[in-house]
Amino acid sequence: MIEHDRERALQYNGALADVYRYFLLNKSRELVLLKDEIEFATHYCTLLKLRFNESVRVSLPADDDLLWTCPQK
C-alpha cells in the first residue's frame, strides 16, 4: 500500500495508531463507555475498509441511535 497509494497508507497508519492507542488506554479498565467502543469500532472498520476496499461492508449506529434514558425509580 505504501508504494502504490501513499495517501491511503497514511490514513491506514493513522487509524492503526488510534486502534493501538485505544488498547493502551483501556487495557486495565473493566468497563468503558459505549461511545468509546463505537469510536474504536469506527477506527477498526476504517482499517478494514482501507485494507480490503469494497470487500468489507460495515454498518455502525449513528450517535443519535445510541441515545436512551434510564427509567426513573
Q: Is the pTM of this model over 0.85?
A: no
Residue 13 is assigned to a structural domain of this protein: yes
Residue 48 in grid coordinates:
478494514
**In whole angstroms, how far apart are CA 11 and each of 20, 24, 27, 49, 62?**
14, 20, 24, 11, 22
Task: Please tell me the chain's helix, strand, coil percentages from 3-state DSSP, rounded to the nearest 5.
Answer: 65, 0, 35
Q: Bigger pLDDT: 62 or 73?
A: 62
Structural domains of the chain, count = 1
Residue 73 is assigned to a structural domain of this protein: no
Per-residue model confidence (pLDDT) at position 24: 93
Residue 55 is assigned to a structural domain of this protein: yes
Q: Bigger pLDDT: 64 or 14?
A: 14
Per-residue model confidence (pLDDT) at position 55: 87
Residue 17 is assigned to a structural domain of this protein: yes
Which pLDDT tens digit goes with each residue over 18-69? 899 998 998 898 888 888 888 888 888 888 988 888 888 888 776 665 555 5
Per-residue model confidence (pLDDT) at position 21: 92
Residue 26 is assigned to a structural domain of this protein: yes
Residue 22 is assigned to a structural domain of this protein: yes
Residue 71 is assigned to a structural domain of this protein: no
Containing domain of residue 24, as a range? 6-66
